[in-house]
Amino acid sequence: VIDPDSEWECTVEAPVNIALVKYWGKKDEKLILPYNDSISLTLDETVLGTRTTVSYSATYEEDCLVLNGEEQKISSRLENVIEEIRRAFRKHAVRNKMNAQNLMIMTRFRFRIVTENKMPTAAGLASSASGMACITFALCTALGIAESVDMSRLARLGSGSACRSIYGGLVQWEAGKEEDGSDSVAKQIYPAHAWPELRVLVLVVNGEKKKIGSTKGMQMSIETSDFMISRPKQCKDRIQEVCWAFQAKHFPALGEVIMKDSNTLHAICRDTLPPVNYLNETSEVLIEFVHDLNSIIGEVSVAYTFDAGPNCFLVFQEKHEHLLKWILSQTFLDSNGLLNTDKPKFDNDENL
Ligand code: 2P0
């Protein structure tokens, strides 16, 4: 029997993911059921990601959250995640005929959740995806159910895109058909080692803070953009193309879908009333730069993708890493390594 007065602790890490075919819009706001399927690449957690330490004990009075060093009120979404994890634990305990005394003590566990984003918070990359995935993973680990539940379903309740950060590599989130969301889960399609030469470079654009968060932006698009009608089918088709390109390791095909889907997302946002614009001038310059570069190379070798913000994610293969970084540094970076698009734009092959 476990000691009811003891305290325990566990620490876990979770990575950020970047969608290649984007999630935008919900069928159910509370259960966070998406309007369309999506597919993403999970990034290396040592660079961008979240680290969470959960201390837990039956002696604590209530759950609490410390985010990036500051105590915060637990949001209703996080409350849903915690409640659902407790429910999953009770089911698991009954199924495994857990000792009744232990079950009683563990049911009384309260959590002190200390969570830190590894990326600079001010850079606007503090994704809720790695944060909610990390908290879910930490709580499930604390209760000993990490191996026996679908953590992607639980993380989804905290933030939609978080369900994809539970797995590495290429990950698909199916919208699902069930009203209770039981089949709205993420699945790994290919592990990261299936295409080890693939790279993602994040260009932090010094943009203003976005005025409309993605949760709100999605709601507005669902209500007002006609482009949303064809979106579920379009996403299914594009996901198939991504999977095919991955299987064949065909970068030009992959890159083309990635850029098209990013452009579609931002076209939907511009078609929303009132229009939402997440990109800024720097983002537009980078888009043009990638197309110019690809036309000089002669095929799609670099792809851009943008989420609900101006930051640019470049996807490419290792063989182009040096060339890309060199051209970027010659074209856009100042002496401090900061993006500066005021410099003469890369627009001809003289720079090569
Ligand atoms: C994605 N985004 O697939 C898309 C692309 C932004 C653009 O998922 O309301 O923070 O918490 O479910 O997951 C950002 O939205 O939204 C997002 P909620 P979330 O990655």
341 pLDDT above the threshold of 80 = no
- Model confidence pLDDT, tens digit, residues 44-85: 877 789 999 999 999 999 999 999 999 999 999 999 999 999
Averaged pLDDT for residues 189-200: 96
22 pLDDT above the threshold of 90 = yes
Averaged pLDDT for residues 231-245: 98
Q: How far is the CA of 237 from the centre of ligand 1 (A)?
A: 20
The confidence score (pLDDT) of residue 126 equals 54
- The 8 Å CB, 24+ separation contacts for 227-231 are 227/264, 227/267, 227/268, 227/271, 228/24, 228/25, 228/35, 228/268, 231/24, 231/25, 231/35, 231/36, 231/264, 231/268
Quote the CA–CA distance of 3 and 5 in Å, as a whole number: 6
Which atom of ligand 1 lies nearest, measured to the CA of 21? Answer: 3
Q: Which of 33, 117, 152, 159 to mutate to test the pocket of ligand 1 (most atoms within 8 A of CB)?
A: 159
The confidence score (pLDDT) of residue 88 equals 97
Q: Which of 163, 214, 221, 263 to mutate to test the pocket of ligand 1 (most atoms within 8 A of CB)?
A: 214
Which atom of ligand 1 lies nearest, measured to the CA of 158? Answer: 11
- Of 98-102, 221-225, 338-342, the poorest mean pLDDT is in 338-342
**Ligand 1 atom 11: the closest Cα is on which residue?**
159
The confidence score (pLDDT) of residue 125 equals 66
User: If you classify domain 1-193 with CATH, what class do you get?
Assistant: alpha beta
Structure tokens at 320: 């182009």
193 pLDDT above the threshold of 90 = yes
198 pLDDT above the threshold of 70 = yes
**ipTM field:** 0.98
Averaged pLDDT for residues 229-256: 98
Q: How far is the CA of 23 from the centre of ligand 1 (A)?
A: 6
- Phi, psi (rounded to 5 degrees) for 189: -90, -50
Which atom of ligand 1 lies nearest, measured to the CA of 77? Answer: 11
For the chain, what percent of residues have pLDDT higher than 90?
A: 84
209 pLDDT above the threshold of 90 = no
338 pLDDT above the threshold of 80 = no
Give 337 or 229, the one with higher predicted confidence. 229
The confidence score (pLDDT) of residue 255 equals 98
**Ligand 1 atom 9: the closest Cα is on which residue?**
215
Which atom of ligand 1 lies nearest, measured to the CA of 38? Answer: 3
Give 127 or 79, the one with higher predicted confidence. 79
The sign of the torsion formed by the CA atoms of 80, 131, 204, 295 equals negative
**Ligand 1 atom 8: the closest Cα is on which residue?**
161
DSSP, collapsed to helix, strand or coil, labels residue 254 as: helix
Q: What pairing do the DSSP bridges indicate for beta strands 26-28 and 70-72? A: unpaired
How far is CA 155 from its chain centroid? 11
CB 118 within 8 A of CB 57: no
Ligand 1 site, CB within 6 A: 19, 22-23, 32, 38, 128, 159-161, 214-215, 265, 307-308
Q: Could you tell me the residue ranges of all domains in the chain?
A: 1-193, 195-352
The confidence score (pLDDT) of residue 119 equals 72
The confidence score (pLDDT) of residue 120 equals 60
- Model confidence pLDDT, tens digit, residues 140-154: 999 999 999 999 999
The confidence score (pLDDT) of residue 118 equals 83
Closest to 118 (Cα-Cα) out of 165, 65, 52? 52
Closest to 8 (Cα-Cα) out of 62, 74, 54? 54
Q: How far is the CA of 3 from the centre of ligand 1 (A)?
A: 41
Q: What is the pTM of this model?
A: 0.94
Averaged pLDDT for residues 249-263: 98
169 pLDDT above the threshold of 50 = yes
- Of 44-48, 172-176, 303-307, the poorest mean pLDDT is in 44-48
Find the helix or strand (DSSP H, E) in which 283 lies.
helix 281-297
Q: What pairing do the DSSP bridges indicate for beta strands 26-28 and 49-57? A: unpaired
Give every CB contact of residue 286 below 8 A, 6+ residues apart in sequence.
Answer: 203, 205, 304, 312, 332, 341
DSSP, collapsed to helix, strand or coil, labels residue 334 as: coil
CB 58 within 8 A of CB 69: no
Q: How far is the CA of 122 from the centre of ligand 1 (A)?
A: 19
28 pLDDT above the threshold of 50 = yes
**Ligand 1 atom 7: the closest Cα is on which residue?**
307
The confidence score (pLDDT) of residue 211 equals 79
Q: Under CATH, which number does the domain 195-352 receive?
A: 3.30.70.890
The confidence score (pLDDT) of residue 204 equals 86
Q: Which of 307, 311, 312, 313 to mutate to test the pocket of ligand 1 (most atoms within 8 A of CB)?
A: 307
Which atom of ligand 1 lies nearest, measured to the CA of 218? Answer: 9
Task: Give CA separation, 2 vs 6, 90, 146, 148, in Å.
Answer: 8, 16, 19, 21
- Phi, psi (rounded to 5 degrees) for 314: -105, 130
